[in-house]
Homo-oligomer: A and B are copies of this chain.
């Protein structure tokens, strides 16, 4: 295969992943049909198979793209803030914001929609890369002498777990009132054991 064609193909693949994410976030997983997707993009259903091999392949690409976007959001949120603790708070807010912005993609990333959709070690890599900014933010706090009580990775994973739990419960509709305020409180509570 020539290089020009692959460029074209990559372009089409990007457009497909993008439009699929739009459909998924707008109308839910039931509306994400290969025929529907192909029609809105203006092609047939076959290119999806030549590009991704399968619908699972498309979902896997969306999965990776979602983690990539999440990582970008966390990274840009962490940059530009001098106070390491405030940067950590901004990262937490960015996490919730991006999760709420496209809830169905979040479901795809953290749920297992299909038994054949195994995350695999590659998925673990993209997830690690996505929450790397959080680890860096925690490490900044540790290096600045603001946090202690464990390795940065462990603390970061705990913070991630709390944020994810709050957002997940909120998305599931199991949050009685003032979700934003409850999220802020949870962030403070989860960081408390590690503050000096």
Contact = CB atoms under 8 A, between A and B. Distances in A.
22 contacts: A28-B112, A29-B113, A30-B116, A103-B112, A107-B111, A107-B112, A110-B169, A112-B171, A118-B173, A119-B172, A119-B173, A119-B174, A158-B189, A161-B162, A161-B166, A161-B186, A162-B165, A163-B165, A164-B169, A189-B190, A192-B192, A192-B193
Interface string A139-156: 000000000000000100
A157 interface: yes
Contacts of A114: 28-30
Contacts of A85: none
This chain: how many copies in the complex?
2
Given A110-B168, A168-B168, 15 more contacts: A29-B113, A29-B114, A29-B115, A30-B116, A103-B112, A110-B169, A111-B172, A124-B173, A157-B176, A158-B186, A161-B169, A161-B186, A162-B165, A163-B165, A165-B165
A168 B171 CA distance: 13
Interface in A103-130: 103-104, 107, 109-116, 118-120, 123-124, 127
